[in-house]
Amino acid sequence: MGKIVVGFSGGVDSSVTAKLLEKRGYEVVPVFLDGGFSDAENAQRSAAALDVPLVIKDIKEEIEKKVIGPFTNAYLNGETPNPCVMCNPLVKFATLIAAAEEVGSHKIATGHYARVRFDGENAFLCRALSLKDQSYMLYRLSQDVLRRCVFPLGEFRSKDEVRNLAREFGLPSAETPDSMEICFIKDGDHAAFIEKRAGAPKDGNFVDEDGKILGRHLGIHRYTVGQRRGLDISASSRLYVSEIDAVSGNVVLSDRDVFKSEIDVKNTVFAPGFGKEPFSAGVKVRYSKNEWAGEVFPDSSASRARVRFKTPARAPARGQSAVFYAGDTVAGGGIIE
Can you tell me the distance from the alpha carbon of 184 to that of 155, in angstroms, rounded to the nearest whole number? 29
Active site (annotated) includes residue 87: yes
Per-residue pLDDT of 215-273, as tens digits, reads 999 899 999 999 999 998 888 889 999 999 999 999 999 999 999 999 999 999 999 99
Domain assignment present for 194: no
Domain assignment present for 240: yes
Q: How many domains does the chain have?
A: 3
Number of Cβ within 10 Å of residue 59's Cβ equals 20
Write down which residue in 213, 232, 254 finishes a domain. 254
Write down which residue in 117, 152, 169 finishes a domain. 169
**CATH number for the domain including 122?**
3.40.50.620
The overall average pLDDT reported for the chain is 95
| 108 shares its domain with 144 | yes
| 332 shares its domain with 223 | no
| 81 shares its domain with 117 | yes
Write down which residue in 218, 235, 254 finishes a domain. 254
Per-residue pLDDT of 152-186, as tens digits, reads 999 999 999 999 999 999 999 988 888 767 899 98
Range of the structural domain that residue 294 is part of: 260-336
Domain assignment present for 221: yes
What confidence tier does 198 reach under pLDDT thresholds 50, 70, 90?
Answer: confident
**CATH number for the domain including 289?**
2.40.30.10
Which listed residue (84, 126, 149, 183) is catalytic?
A: 183
Per-residue pLDDT of 83-128, as tens digits, reads 999 999 999 999 999 999 999 999 999 999 999 999 999 999 999 9
Which listed residue (84, 87, 126, 149) is catalytic?
A: 87
